[in-house]
Amino acid sequence: MSHQSALIASNIDEYLAQHERKELLRFITCGSVDDGKSTLIGRLFYESKMIYEDQLAAIAKDSSRYGTTGGEVDLALFTDGLEDERQQGITIDVAYRYFSTDRRKFIIADTPGHEQYTRNMATGASTADLAIILVDARHGVLTQTKRHSFIVSLLGIRHIVVAVNKMDIVGYDEKVFDRIKADYGDFASRLDLPDVHFMPISALKGDNVVTHSPNMPWYSGSPLMPLLENVYIGSDRNMEDFRFPVQYVLRPNLDFRGFSGTIASGIIRKGDEVVSLPSRKKSRVKSIVTFDGELEEAFAPQSVTLTLEDEIDSSRGDMLVRPGNAPKVDHKFEAMLVWMTDEPLVPGRQYLFKQTTKVVPGAVSTIRYRVDVNTLHRQPAPSLALNEIGRCAITLSAPICFDAYRRNRATGGFIMIDRLTNATVGAGMILDREPEDGSADHWGDASEGGLQGSASEVTADEREARYGQKPVTLLITGLAGSGKTTIARAVERRLFDMGRAVVVLDGQNMRLGISRDLGFSAAERSENLRRSVEVARIFNDAGILCLASFVAPDEAVRQKAAERVGRDRFLVVHAAAPLEVCRDRDRDGNYRRADAGEIANFPGVSAPYEPPTNPDLVLPTHEWTVGRCVEAIVDLLESRGMI
């Protein structure tokens, strides 16, 4: 497993060339305090024979003073280098370590577990390909575990290893591991974490770190080190969209003029046509120059100098792209922002925004909401304090060239800089949604367009007297496979047999008719629910009970639906089956297709699902029978005076 090779003695040049060609994997370790992050890294180095003898001797000496492992060597001291870290037994700063094996080179970021150092954790995660989230087997999934999982999802890390540590303390109990796996899976279904691996380990004893542990024969998955060596990250990099931010115009003499920088994404070849943004001047690539000579093609993340056939004007901060595949160029956009300084964010205050190679003055015009990363709930916020995360509308003094962060981390990320101190105060991820103040909002009041509705000759009281019921829209929301439609149909049957006027609106049926023109993006799901809510409102106006069965994954959209129907006649029921149960119930193979990337924006797999904040009723459909769920809904309607 060590990087030691016979080539070191026989052919050092070939060894160095071979080492240079190895693929690089950047990963972080994160989790709650004392989950064993630093110990795990120390164990990885120790088992892989990456710790020098003098380092090991120093660690053994310090273990008697700072160690927490009794008489054993405390491998956590290998990364906890600060005096305060060793005294307190915690990680404060981000510690980077480098090592290699026969297959790969690695850069590890050991990130802090304390909530007050969330900004440090975000810094370490910003360039990572993989995250190891440690969970203490004794304590299970904690608040900080959820916090770090949310940040990992927000920063677009696709590969996650949930390492259940300290299995030796719980007697290597498989049931403990299974319970934590289920708890984490239920929480993670609301996040965008496409590739999650669960692994029972003991960082202190070395179980399942480099080789399979004989203490856990029930675990058949890969140990940690082989997984790190083999996880496929090639598809994570965007090789479709060519983006070349110009960093420097190289002019060593009168006969040479080239544009230097690092390719942010995509591939470029000699002779390819390019466009310079924002000027939109076109030319072709004449040559691709590097220190080692000219190349026929180059790709991300190589640093190169491009010469063009035409003398077009392009300077630092501009971007070279392909015609027909350009990023958005605008001075307004929406972003998720991590605030990283003690002084709160003030909307309207001028900051510097650095994105790729361009620095532009601007301001946060509006804070849409703050995210409680412990519960994932959205809250109104006048400002953002240290370590808080929120969605913001940003307005710059000049346009920039950007993509959504989910598509391109290089052109979709930015930092905010204080204009007086030059300190980095925030880090942002640009969203793929249009600014809310510049896009058409179909949820708005249609009367603003000069339209007027007509009132019925039949009053609501007359309808209530005729049907013996108060109209209500009961939204049953949950993941695909949670049993929403089955329950809705059963409740419809029950209410109809009771003599009630009732109808079911099903999400799939709506897509076969009124919403057949819509896809499954977040915006299109919102529009599907909006259309369905309008139909439900018409049913309610006619005095009819409406049972609406929809995934409706976005809490904000559900709140809009409640406002549209009327909060006094809108109830929310959450079909709360865990993700794994929904997967097992799936007979159409939708979850499998979503895992394979064949279905995009699938809630619980490739798109988040936000459980209702304050549902009127929660149905554990994985535990209750359909009949019991029906009784609970009927009881709810009776208790609210609807029937």
Which of residues 89 and 462 earns the better pLDDT score? 462
Q: How far is CA 626 from CA 355, 483, 491, 512, in A?
A: 53, 8, 9, 26
Between CA 413 and CA 416 the distance in angstroms is 10
**For residue 509, what are its two tokens?**
């049926």
pLDDT given for residue 377 in this prediction: 84
In which element (H, E) is residue 323 found?
A: none
Asked if 330 and 401 count as a contact pair (C-beta separation under 8 A), the reply is no
**328 by DSSP, 3-state: which?**
strand
> What type of residue sits at position 449?
G
Q: How far is CA 381 from CA 118, 349, 353, 373, 391, in A?
A: 19, 16, 22, 14, 10
The whole-number average pLDDT for the span 52-74 is: 59
Which of residues 575 and 374 earns the better pLDDT score? 575
| 284 backbone φψ class: left, alpha, beta (φ>0; ψ -120 to 50) | beta
The whole-number average pLDDT for the span 84-99 is: 54
Which of residues 83 and 229 earns the better pLDDT score? 229
Which of 275-289, 425-439, 443-457, 497-511 has the least mean pLDDT? 443-457
Which of residues 184 and 102 earns the better pLDDT score? 184
**148 burial level (CB within 10 Å; 0-12, 13-18, 19+):** buried
Q: Would you tell me how many other CB atoms lie within 10 Å of the CB of residue 414?
A: 27
The whole-number average pLDDT for the span 415-421 is: 94
Which of 284-298, 448-462, 470-484 has the least mean pLDDT? 448-462
Which of 21-35, 187-201, 298-312 has the least mean pLDDT? 21-35
Q: Is the pLDDT of residue 135 over 50?
A: yes
Between CA 319 and CA 358 the distance in angstroms is 9
Rg, the chain, Cα only: 28
Which of residues 52 and 342 earns the better pLDDT score? 342
Asked if 577 and 479 count as a contact pair (C-beta separation under 8 A), the reply is yes
Asked if 433 and 346 count as a contact pair (C-beta separation under 8 A), the reply is no
pLDDT given for residue 85 in this prediction: 39
Between CA 233 and CA 160 the distance in angstroms is 12
pLDDT given for residue 235 in this prediction: 77
Q: Is the pLDDT of residue 439 over 50?
A: no
Which of 282-286, 379-383, 469-473, 619-623 has the least mean pLDDT? 379-383
pLDDT given for residue 637 in this prediction: 94
Percent of the chain at pLDDT exceeding 90: 46
Query: Largest Cα–Cα distance in the chain?
Result: 96
In which element (H, E) is residue 620 found?
A: none
Residue 2 pLDDT grade (very low, low, confident, very high; cuts 50, 70, 90): very low
346 Cβ contact partners less than 8 Å away, ≥ 6 residues apart:
383
Handedness of CA 295, 297, 302, 308 (dihedral sign): positive
pLDDT given for residue 630 in this prediction: 95
Percent of the chain at pLDDT exceeding 70: 86
The whole-number average pLDDT for the span 454-458 is: 80
- For 257-300, the pLDDT digits (tens) are 999 999 999 999 999 999 998 888 999 999 999 988 999 999 98
Length of the chain counted residue by residue: 643
Q: Is the pLDDT of residue 81 over 50?
A: no
Which of 20-24, 192-196, 480-484 has the least mean pLDDT? 20-24
Which of 50-54, 169-173, 177-181, 511-515 has the least mean pLDDT? 50-54
Q: Is the pLDDT of residue 120 over 60?
A: yes
Q: Is the pLDDT of residue 168 over 60?
A: yes
Q: Which DSSP symbol is given to 242?
A: -
Asked if 307 and 256 count as a contact pair (C-beta separation under 8 A), the reply is yes
Asked if 223 and 209 count as a contact pair (C-beta separation under 8 A), the reply is yes
The whole-number average pLDDT for the span 389-393 is: 92
Q: Which DSSP symbol is given to 603?
A: B
Between CA 338 and CA 514 the distance in angstroms is 40
Which of 156-170, 582-596, 618-632 has the least mean pLDDT? 582-596
Mean residue pLDDT of the chain comes to 84
CA-angle at 476, arms to 474 and 477, nearest 5°: 140
Asked if 332 and 430 count as a contact pair (C-beta separation under 8 A), the reply is no
Q: How far is CA 32 from CA 36, 82, 148, in A?
A: 9, 19, 8
- For 314-356, the pLDDT digits (tens) are 899 999 999 888 898 888 899 999 998 999 998 889 999 999 9
Which of residues 447 and 27 earns the better pLDDT score? 27
DSSP-derived pairing of the beta strands 267-269 and 297-299: antiparallel
Between CA 486 and CA 68 the distance in angstroms is 54
Q: Is the pLDDT of residue 87 over 50?
A: no
Which of 42-46, 509-513, 543-547 has the least mean pLDDT? 42-46
In the chain the domains, ranked by start, together with CATH numbers, are: 7-234 (3.40.50.300), 243-321 (2.40.30.10), 328-430 (2.40.30.10), 467-639 (3.40.50.300)
